[in-house]
Structure 1
Amino acid sequence: MHKRPHLPPLQTLRAFEAAVRLASFTRAADELALTQGAVSQHVRALEARLGTPLFARERSGAVPTPRAHELALQIRQGLNVLERAFDPLTHGASRARGRMRESVRLTVSVLPPFADRWLTPRLDRFKRKYPHIELVLRKEAALARLDRRDGVDVALRYGPGAWPGVQAERFMEEEIFPVMSPVYRNGAAPRRFADLAHCTLLKHRAQPWEPWFQAVGLDLTEPRGAPRFDDARGLLDAAEQGQGIALARASLVAQALREGRLVRLWKRRVTDIYAHFVVWRADSPKREAIEALRAWLHSEAGRRAG
């Protein structure tokens, strides 16, 4: 006789799911009328049961791992099934037939370079995992309002993460580093950081050089008179053509580095002050599809670059 697995207590699952969804033990405790310590104990119990950490303890707080987001999505779906089972309105044959998973169209606003160089090459994996969700990409630089007027359900944004009126969840940090074409200056790459003072540094409107200069201890200011670009696609195209050295985000140049169209200068790791966020409205009627996308984004961000 097959023995049923012993499941964790329902309260443990609820506490963990809320902590991941809200990205905060404190807010999870408030929602569930528990203490922060109780939520922390539930999470530790689940980590001990699985034998793997589900949160990274950082100065800013506990940050869910990609495994935590995947597990929380599965728990959330299970809780939704239980809630429907005990809802009197869901009883009856007509309701039972309606429980079949329906197709959902999710319109996603995303910056064109990130869509082309990071998101699109991964979409086949999303389609295989969530065949009932159709992602419609709207490539645009403007911030979507995420309301009925613009028809956008979710936005992928790069920035500080503080946007009024919406929920924002960080799913990936960015490493930044200088890159150049093998044909720039006949392949004579600068050997020291200070040599950049004698190179053509390409500028991006939203990606200044000074934070990187400061991170590597280089006493240089923002380059003047250098070619300037309003979007990352134009910046990286110019770098590939040998027009100068660009400060690049790892997510946008992985393929160009593999194919040899660009070369990374130095291995010094510098994390950008900005990060990638998934943004949505709390009252969206497509919450389950959005939660699936959020979990998938965290999973993809945990993969090796490219």
Structure 2
Amino acid sequence: MAAGPQITAFFDEPTNTVSYLVWDPETRAAAVIDPVLDYDPASGAVSTKSAERILAAADAQGLLITFVLETHPHADHLTAAPVFKARTGAKVGIGAGVREVQTAFGPMFAADDVKDDGGDFDLLLEDGQRLPLGSLTIEVIATPGHTPACVSYKIGDAVFVGDTLFMPDYGTARCDFPGGNAQQLYGSIQRILSLPPETRLFMCHDYKAPGRDEFAWETNVAEQRVHNVHIGGGVTEDAYTAMRQARDAKLAMPKLLLSAIQVNIRAGGFPPADANGIHYLKIPLTMTQGG
């Protein structure tokens, strides 16, 4: 029987994002999940510092990165997927529902260069699809609700859940973005919680719930079933949906959403450069009362 995956987490505190380097100890084949491109919205400066940390760790372990896997098109950070693709030849994958996200957001940014068939990504992943990672297998689990594109990745006894779940003391993902759906998210969460209780769950974010001093991003199915503050203890779909919709109505827009989404629907590519050779992100303006 093959050994389970080896996992190293990389926490980016400015965006509260956790990226993962996951590998097969037998063959050294590796995948990177949800990598972050460093971005300063005040200056527009970008750097690959966070990606370089992961690449250095992979080199130190003698790993060959074959996949970059996105759990969804993120609204809170820019993806560094193109950095890994350029350096390693890794294929970039995301849930096939990304086409719905591109359709929803593309017109907002006049993103006419985005391929309407999802072709900016190398792999459009369907529920139940399997990818080889050396002697291990990556199983794709569709977990829509936060976005239509959300997928989780099961590798051995580990599942990388994206924004479907947070740590038990923080709860679950918002569903108020275009294509989001609280009932869908409830069903997706139940799929995850139907896995064996010892299954390890790895979060994409942590915001350090009140009363907790340290960041954390690993839990398991048993802990989530009982202790998750939104879904634990057998909460019904109706109760969950009502809670989620009421909570979402009070949430502010993520501060990097307008920047992140127009990069992430391009698989990490920037909008085409203007005639002066400079790439620009577009910020749509909305007139409010008194505007």
Shorter-chain-normalised TM-score: which range?
A: under 0.3
- Give the TM-score, by structure 2 length: 0.27
- Give the TM-score, by structure 1 length: 0.26
Structure richer in helix, relative to its length: 1
Q: Which protein is bigger by CA-based radius of gyration?
A: 1
Higher relative contact order (CA 8 A, sep 6+): 1
